[in-house]
Structure 1
């Protein structure tokens, strides 16, 4: 297991009108791992994820990315540093083709992100690289198809391809299997495993079968605080975790 820390939070807290949604969270994500943030409904995991990705500002505490403080940066700033996130709701450019969607992710690296006066043919030189990312997620054969026509599971795959095109150092995946049927869950899980090779992933996920099959480390939250952390086997046998999920500590966490 790699020991180099790529993302860490120290004393991270967030209050909304006196309500403590996140309280004194310390978190460390190691480079080259798949790290999951989980917890029962209302545990604060989504708020914590939004704090880490800078979509909301903490009341107190600090966030560091590659030992650089990012607590007061904007989401666009940290994206430029290499932290790129997805969202629970599928976010694609629906009227653009799959190829065009992935090219959007490639434009910044090619220096074309703000050159709107350029002909669309200027982007054709990105096609081969875009196709490589579509191939990685199994969508190359549909490259000229409009994103709007894709089934939901394939839209998730397209989002991953677009995220990878931005060359992230850390991928933040927010409920990547939310709303998927059983077959699509299996496909997206395997896809995350494949694209995570040689990369770092932090994900919020509710599906414990997904967590158990691909995650190296799991942080469990309850009532805005870290309840337990370790491998899936370790946290799934933790009596406090069992009580949080099941309401009774006598049984092992059922998955």
Structure 2
């Protein structure tokens, strides 16, 4: 039996993480520690290796060398379904919505995980209706209440992205990894989602890849900057945004955008 992790131990850790493609290092010797109950950002200019690193951390790719540990357990050779069962969920793993079901029905299905561990689509309406209050609370928190009876396929793009995030949160994982959660969102969608992520992080951990630096400055305690597949800098947003190496990497100060 695996011993429970120490309270101050990182919930997610990468140790000397590497990934090669035909001899080219997309990720090289990355060391990363994500503090429990925090919001941590992984950023970098285009081509920095963020997507590859994210895929390694979420086990969609296996490392050429190095380790990924979740709650002290080596998951480097695991798979997304197995790590999801452990409580580590990447947004699109569970968030792919059912297009021809309503917004409320999508959230209600995600909430079923807490009622018995399986998605039992044949449950009675009465049983599923017991989840309505929690589902409506989630929808209200991101301004989706008026869309509750709209089919997911009929939602505007930004609202569909918000629904995807809500269904991920409804699964109540211990840690959520978000890949550019603000991409494609209008201004009216961004800040409700920022507040939702902030609330979520009070009881769990969030690691996000995000390009919106204003969002990162509002949300993230720690920012790790990648360049050419390696860690360039790490610290608070204020620290990394003032780092000359980071400013240079973002071509003359785009890190302040």
* TM-score above 0.5, yes or no: yes
In structure 2, which of residues 217, 220, 240 is the aligned counterpart of residue 235 of structure 1? 240
Q: Match of 2:231?
A: 226
Q: After the TM superposition, list the runs of 4 or more consecutive aligned residues in structure 1 that deviate by more than 6 angstroms.
A: none
Query: For the structure 1 residues 144 and 28, does the alpha-carbon distance in structure 2 shift closer, same or farther, using more than 3 Å as the test?
Result: same
Query: For the structure 1 residues 197 and 151, does the alpha-carbon distance in structure 2 shift closer, same or farther, using more than 3 Å as the test?
Result: farther
| CA apart distance, 1:166 | 0.8
Q: For the Cα contact (< 8 Å) 1:7–1:29, is it kept in 2?
A: yes
Q: Match of 2:256?
A: 254
Q: Match of 1:132?
A: 137
Q: For the Cα contact (< 8 Å) 1:236–1:252, is it kept in 2?
A: no
| CA apart distance, 1:137 | 2.5
Q: What is the RMSD of the two structures over their aligned residues, measured on CA atoms?
A: 2.2
Q: Match of 2:195?
A: 190
Q: Report SS of the residue matched to 1:5.
A: coil
Q: For the Cα contact (< 8 Å) 1:153–1:188, is it kept in 2?
A: no
Q: For the Cα contact (< 8 Å) 1:94–1:147, is it kept in 2?
A: yes
Gaps of at least 5 residues in structure 2 are: 1-6
Residues 108-119 of structure 1: matches in 2 within 5 Å? 108-111=113-116, 113-116=118-121, 118-119=123-124
| CA apart distance, 1:99 | 1.4
Size of the alignment, in residue pairs?
250
Q: Match of 1:153?
A: 158
Q: For the Cα contact (< 8 Å) 1:34–1:216, is it kept in 2?
A: yes
In structure 2, which of residues 104, 109, 121 is the aligned counterpart of residue 104 of structure 1? 109
| CA apart distance, 1:202 | 0.2
Q: Match of 1:203?
A: 208
Query: For the structure 1 residues 3 and 161, does the alpha-carbon distance in structure 2 shift closer, same or farther, using more than 3 Å as the test?
Result: same
Gaps of at least 5 residues in structure 1 are: none
Deviations 1:118-141 (A, max 9, x none): 455543333233223223333233
Q: For the Cα contact (< 8 Å) 1:103–1:127, is it kept in 2?
A: yes
Query: For the structure 1 residues 97 and 52, does the alpha-carbon distance in structure 2 shift closer, same or farther, using more than 3 Å as the test?
Result: same
Query: How many Å separate the matches in 2 of 1:234 and 1:81?
Result: 33
Please state if 1:17 is matched with 2:22: yes
Deviations 1:98-150 (A, max 9, x none): 11111221223322625455455543333233223223333233322211222
Query: How many Å separate the matches in 1 of 2:86 and 2:52?
Result: 22
